[in-house]
Amino acid sequence: MRMKGLKSHLRRNKSKRARRQFDEMIPVAKVDVQRLGRLIPYGSA
C-alpha cells in the first residue's frame, strides 16, 4: 500500500473526489513491488 502522490497545499480547486483520494491508501502495482522493496531500507517486500 502507498499514499497518493502529488499531495500539496493547493487543494481548493481540486474536485472532492481528488481530495478524498489523498486520505486513502492505494495498492502498489505488482510490477513495482520488487523495485520498491529495494528502495525501502527495512521493508518487508
Query: Pick from 39, 20, 16: which is nearest to 28 by CA?
Result: 39
How many CA atoms, within 13 angstroms, populate the side-chain half-sphere of residue 7? Answer: 11
Residue 12 in any domain: the answer is yes
Asked if residue 25 is part of any domain, the answer here is yes
Does residue 40 have a pLDDT over 60?
yes
CA nearest neighbour of 1 among 10, 19, 43: 43
User: What total number of domains does the chain contain?
Assistant: 1
Q: Concatenate the DSSP letters of all residues of 12-25 into one string.
A: TTS-HHHHHHTTSE
| Statement: the pTM of the whole predicted model exceeds 0.85 | no
Q: Tell me which residue range forms the domain holding 30.
A: 2-39
Is residue 45 situated within a structural domain? no
Q: Residue 13: inside a domain, yes or no?
A: yes
Q: Is residue 24 situated within a structural domain? A: yes
With respect to residue 10, please indicate whether it lies within any of the assigned structural domains: yes
Q: Per the domain annotation, does 44 fall within a domain? A: no
pLDDT tens for each residue of 5-36: 767 777 788 889 888 888 888 888 999 888 88
